[in-house]
Structure 1
Amino acid sequence: NYLCIPLRCLTITSTQQTMVAKAQGDKVTLPCMFTFTAADDGPLDIEWVLIPTDNQKNDQTVRRVRFSNPDPKSGDGSMEILDLKSTDSGTYQCRVKKPPGVESQKIQLTVLVKPGRTKCYVEGSQVIGHDLTLKCGSQEGSATISYTWRKSAGTEELPATALLNTGDLAVKNASQDHSGIYTCIASNRVGEDECFLVLKVTPPKNTAGIIAGAIIGTLLGLICLAFLVFCCCKKRREKKYEKEVHHDIREDVPPPKSRTSTAHSYIGSNRSSLGSMSPSNMEGYAKNQYNKVPSEDFERTSSQNQNFP
């Protein structure tokens, strides 16, 4: 067997960093630096493997990888993994072969999700003298997430009575001095996220004034309703009166005269006008006018007045 003497054969030098933590979506460089001597005259072979966990039977193939150095023969066999995913977490082994030398190194990679979608809100009544709680929580992120509150407007110091408990900032006996803009910072090993809220502590509301306002508003509403009902009734009465008056006028109109009475009136008027006619034109006028009178009326009139000159 070949016996490798230190400093005279293949050696991996990047042994200080054995654990790496990165955020999901980032890239990571797993170091594998090595040196070799003239005694290592065999072909160079660099191999990276992901050691299977207890529930895996075979070594997993690492994808989305590349050498960080385009020329690994220079002694840099470090590997880059792009676009990290949570499934990339595990133990990676770099194995360098240059016969007769063989060396390997293990690195533990942990892919974490940084905090995200952090929300802030107030729980409780924002009234002077009341207790309230500033709530903060991230909907994304790998454990363990820590939360920090700070005040960025108004009095920039947190209330002396505030108690922090896993993202919740409890405020006892709130006062107007507690009003301001609060920021919550959620962080873990790979990143952070933040949110803010505006706290406005106000004096208690005037309950008596609110009740009086409600009563006055109700009375005004009833008055308006009664006025509308009165206007509607008055309008209906006016329309009914107009219909009755219009009907009476139509009944008083006299009926039209019959044609028989008109004819007799016409004859009478002709006879009365004869006395004003002169003897010279009396014959022609009487002939023309009496030709217009119906024959029955003329015969009846002649028989009744046989002695008329």
Structure 2
Amino acid sequence: MGPLGPRGPLTLLLLPLLGGLVGLTRCLRILPPDASRIEKAKGDSVHLPCKYTLATEDEGPLDIEWVLSLPDNLKVDQMIIFYSGGRIFANYYKDMSGRVHFTDSDPQSGDASINVTNLQLSDIGTYQCKVKKAPGVHSSKIQLSVLVKPTGTRCFVEGSQEIGRDFKMRCESPEASGPLEYEWQRLPSSERFPSPWLAEMTSSVINVKNATQEYSGTYRCVVRNRVGSDECLLRLDVVPPSNTAGTIAGAIIGTLLALLLLGLLIFCCCKKRKEEKYEKEVQHDIREDVPPPKSRTSTSRSYVGSNHSSLGSMSPSNMEGYSKAQYNQVPSEDFEPPSPKPAFQLSKVAAPNLSRMGAVPVMIPAQSKDGSIV
């Protein structure tokens, strides 16, 4: 008893505490996950573990909650899935509706893990699993990071690929999540990589100085991050300098010829439109009828006839002068001779009376149909 005597009271005090600790270990508890931080690629699926054990003292109803805490502290926590009273409720968070499910269709079996499919950048955050079965309550947290793996990687040259020039070889994967790692390779692998570029083989940009034809070849750029990788090929052709002055002159001449041809085309179109417009106006123009010219023959005949009737009353003494004066005049088309005065009717005077009056018999020359003297 000697050695144990002084320790007796202390032992009696520690026994209740040890009994309480043993009781706590027998209560509900969640097994720690393999990792507290998980990284996945966008579009992939993720498994968030949450396995628990129950004690005989845990007799209350079983409730399981999964809550998402977003990176933005100003936003409230979101309930994404819930189990209570033997039912599963998975439509609490609209952004993940239809994409989150319990791994076990019966979560009360001891597995409250969930699967999230088709991951999006909005799924980034801290996920907390809470298991309640009175009097036991326990929870665990897992941080999920969603990364975009390199896709659509593009290789290109920035600058003129001419001998003696400086240019840049670029490798870009615009949608990939950082940090990114780059690696340049020359194909085939037996080809020696240019020594001035060795310091930039792990960079997204290679600066080429004073280019030579030895740099020509095929190069590959590989881009990586923690969730994936991608690559692109680049064909580099270093050529002799081009005739810049000739190229500029050719471009100017070509532009002038194009402008001249365009101006000629516009001129022809305008001219054709004017001609078509004039033809339409002429077709619709109404003209007045012009009276026909008077007959030349009828005028001449009437003129000669009038002179013929006048000759009957003329004496031989003045006949010669009259005929010359009258027939030297050519009547015009528009000339209308005055109506001849009625000749003195000799038939009404008897021949004896004419002799007493001193008349002398005269022979009248004959006339043709057109009025000329025969």
Scaled by the length of structure 1, the TM-score of the pair is 0.59
**How big is the shift at 1:84?**
1.1
State the alpha-carbon separation in 2 of the partners of residues 99 and 206 from structure 1. Answer: 85
Contact 1:154 1:180 in 2 (8 A): no
**Partner residue, 1:57:** 76
**Partner residue, 1:30:** 48
**Cα deviation digits, residues 156-206 of structure 1 (max 9, x gap):** 44321014274102233434443222111222222222211111234x358
Alignment of 1:237-248 (within 5 A): none
SS of equivalent to 2:177: coil
Contact 2:65 2:79 in 1 (8 A): no
Flag the structure with higher strand content: 1
**Aligned residue pair count:** 211
State the alpha-carbon separation in 1 of the partners of residues 157 and 204 from structure 2. Answer: 12
**Identity rate of aligned residues, in percent?**
45
The two structures, once aligned, show a CA RMSD in angstroms of: 3.1
**How big is the shift at 1:34?**
1.8
**Partner residue, 1:194:** 231
Contact 1:18 1:106 in 2 (8 A): yes
State the alpha-carbon separation in 1 of the partners of residues 214 and 149 from structure 2. Answer: 34
Gaps of 5+ in 2: 1-18, 81-92, 250-374
State the alpha-carbon separation in 2 of the partners of residues 42 and 172 from structure 1. Answer: 76
Contact 2:66 2:79 in 1 (8 A): no
State the alpha-carbon separation in 1 of the partners of residues 73 and 36 from structure 2. Answer: 20
**Partner residue, 1:110:** 145
SS of equivalent to 2:149: coil
Q: Could you tell which deviates more after superposition, 139-148 or 25-34? A: 139-148
What amino acid does structure 2 have at the position aligned with 1:54?
Answer: N
State the alpha-carbon separation in 2 of the partners of residues 154 and 126 from structure 1. Answer: 23
**Partner residue, 2:172:** 137
Alignment of 1:83 with 2:118, yes or no, is yes
Q: Could you tell which deviates more after superposition, 150-159 or 17-26? A: 150-159
Contact 1:51 1:60 in 2 (8 A): no
**Partner residue, 2:33:** 15
Structure 2 CA distance for partners of 1:100 and 1:185, relative to 1, 3 Å: same
What amino acid does structure 1 have at the position aligned with 2:137?
Answer: V
SS of equivalent to 2:122: helix
Contact 1:150 1:157 in 2 (8 A): no
**Residue in structure 1 matching 2:208, options 150, 171, 174:** 171
Contact 2:164 2:212 in 1 (8 A): yes
**How big is the shift at 1:132?**
3.1
Contact 2:162 2:238 in 1 (8 A): yes
State the alpha-carbon separation in 1 of the partners of residues 242 and 115 from structure 2. Answer: 67
Alignment of 1:226-305 (within 5 A): none
What amino acid does structure 2 have at the position aligned with 1:139?
Answer: P
State the alpha-carbon separation in 1 of the partners of residues 21 and 129 from structure 2. Answer: 19
Scaled by the length of structure 2, the TM-score of the pair is 0.50
SS of equivalent to 2:108: helix
SS of equivalent to 2:152: strand
Structure 2 CA distance for partners of 1:152 and 1:75, relative to 1, 3 Å: farther
Q: Which has the bigger relative contact order, CA under 8 A and spacing at least 6?
A: 1
**Partner residue, 2:331:** none
Contact 1:116 1:138 in 2 (8 A): yes
State the alpha-carbon separation in 2 of the partners of residues 94 and 20 from structure 1. Answer: 15
State the alpha-carbon separation in 2 of the partners of residues 55 and 77 from structure 1. Answer: 28
**Partner residue, 1:294:** none
